[in-house]
Amino acid sequence: MRSSISLGRIGGVPVGLNVSVLVIVVILVVGLAFGRFPIAFPGLPTAAYVLAALVSAVLFLASLLAHELAHAIVARRHDVEVTGITLWLLGGVAQLRGEPRSPGADLRIAGVGPLTSVVLGGLFALVTWGVSAVGGPALVSGMFGYLAAVNVLLAVFNLIPAAPLDGGRVLRAFLWARWGDRLRAAVAAARAGRVFGYTLIVLGFLNLVSGLGFQGLWLALIGLFLVNAASAEEQQTQIDAALHGIKVAEVMSRHPITAHPGETVAGLIDRLVLRHHLSTYPLVDDDGRFAGLVTLGRVRAVDPGRREVTPLREIACPPPDVPSARPDDLLTELLQRMSGSADGRAVVLDDGRIVGLVTPSDISRTIQTVDLRAREPYRTPRGADLAPHAPGGPPAGGPTSGGPSSSGTIRSTGRRDAA
């Protein structure tokens, strides 16, 4: 779930809107301005209803953002990196990279979102009472009353014990503490999420055939989202556990074929691409240092008429944007850094010099052969929040503060909340 519109940074965390959030805004404004508000507070100009609906929609989005920020703040306090927050069609996503180190940390990161929504609901209820007490407009009082109710409803829904909702994270934390096995706990929470998702789909279908139209469609949409997210989360958890303990050196393609940053695109095609049929070419400067990464996708994007005069440095992904690792790094840690990378590749460096590449093919091959490796079985950690991080643990994210990253082997963990 990527941001289409950047809202800047809050506390160092990038915040943005996915264009799909506009759908929720339209639904809220139309439903409130031409449905709920005119029925509850008749006799006012249409402009008043529209203005109140717009303010309600903006404050609702602000509530979702506060919910996600709470997740992000607590996650950072437990040394879990937060790469961004995105508001989208079904709520919000706090994108976490890394895993909580104990059941207690997992519980606190998950529980703070619904707690924030409950607190916001109480604040909006207090404002509602204040406006009524001073004889303010009934429409304004009703607007804040609506926001109070919707925040409490958001908290209750997200506490349903089904991943990837916040409640699924809470369930995982309790099962992890009870069983001492994070993998088993994460799989159980994901399967509960899938069951709940199918339940919503069935309820949505029943509403549709009963003539309740939009409400049934919305339930089915949320249910489908939960089923897909929970299934992907279970699969990712099992893959992470399978890859536990594998070093980057065991996976990487060694001695990659390189090119010079000053070589032209046409030169690369004639000298290497048509001969070796590879998809990735690291650039190495005159000092032997890594200087960028060129893929076939970037080569094809160059107009054929300009390939003779375009140097590779102009089309390469610059070094700071290419995930990197040392040969002794753990593969699971590198995969977290690769999440969201432009080209889906990583370079393996030794003292600034390239010694290998990690590509999607390398990762796929490793997953297919992981059961043939002789190594210690995966064991989940126990103990305090400061216990060493166990790589390859289950994902820390899921729909919660408003809305789910997350996708395949290379992924960034995200907390998602359904609106």
Does the pLDDT value for residue 99 go beyond 70?
Answer: yes
Q: Binding site residues, as ranges?
A: 67, 71, 166
Greater confidence (121 vs 367) lies with 121
What average pLDDT does the structure give for the chain?
A: 86
Whether residue 375 is predicted with pLDDT greater than 80 in this model: the reply is no
What's the number of CA atoms in the CB half-sphere (13 Å) around residue 36?
A: 16
Residue 356 has pLDDT above 60, yes or no: yes
pLDDT tens digits along 258-289: 999 999 999 999 999 999 888 999 999 998 89
**Residue 386 confidence class, pLDDT cut points 50, 70, 90:** very low
- Range 347-373 average pLDDT: 87
Q: Can you give 8-41 as a three-state secondary structure string?
A: EEECCEEEEECCCHHHHHHHHHHHHHHHHHHHHC
Residue 155 pLDDT: 96
**pLDDT confidence tier of residue 240, bands split at 50, 70 and 90:** confident
pLDDT digits (tens, 9 = 90+) for 247-258: 999 999 998 999
Residues of the chain with CATH 3.10.580.10: 249-373
Instruction: Please state the separation of Cα 86 from the chain's center in Å.
Output: 8
Q: How confident is the model at residue 378 (pLDDT cuts 50, 70, 90)?
A: low
Average pLDDT over every residue of 4-13: 88
Residues 156-180 have pLDDT tens digits of 999 999 999 999 999 999 999 999 9
* DSSP states of 121-173: HHHHHHHHHHHHHTT--HHHHHHHHHHHHHHHHHHHHHTSS-TTSHHHHHHHH
In this prediction, residues 228-247 reach a mean pLDDT of: 87
- pLDDT class of 323 with cuts at 50, 70, 90: very high
Which residues lie across from 354 on neighbouring strands?
Answer: 349
Is residue 278 exposed (0-12), middle (13-18) or buried (19+ Cβ within 10 Å)?
middle
pLDDT at 302 over 90: yes
Cβ–Cβ under 8 Å, residues 307 and 282: no
Residue 351: predicted pLDDT: 86
**Percentage of residues of the chain with pLDDT beyond 70:** 88
Looking from the CA of 48 toward its CB, the CA atoms found within 13 Å total 13
Q: Quick one: pLDDT at residue 158?
A: 95
Q: Which residues are annotated as a binding site for Zn(2+)?
A: 67, 71, 166
State residue 368's pLDDT score: 85
Q: What per-residue confidence (pLDDT) applies to 339? A: 73
pLDDT (average), residues 131-155: 96
So what's the architecture of 249-373 in CATH? Roll (3.10)
Q: How confident is the model at residue 11 (pLDDT cuts 50, 70, 90)?
A: confident
| Token pair 């997953």: residue | 367
Determine the pLDDT at residue 391. Answer: 36
Cis peptide before 164 (omega within 30 of 0): yes
| Cα 191 from Cα 233, distance rounded (Å) | 9
pLDDT of residue 383: 34
pLDDT band of residue 4 (cuts 50, 70, 90) is confident
pLDDT of residue 245 exceeding 80: yes
What is the per-residue pLDDT for 379?
52
Active site residue 250: no
Distance, CA of 353 to CA of 191 (rounded, Å): 44
The CB density around residue 167, as the number of other CB atoms within 10 Å, is 26
pLDDT tens digit string along 47-92? 999 999 999 999 999 999 999 999 999 999 999 989 899 998 888 8
Packing angle between helix 21-31 and helix 46-77, nearest 10 degrees?
A: 140
Q: What pLDDT sits at residue 399? A: 35
Do 92 and 71 touch, CB atoms closer than 8 A?
Answer: no
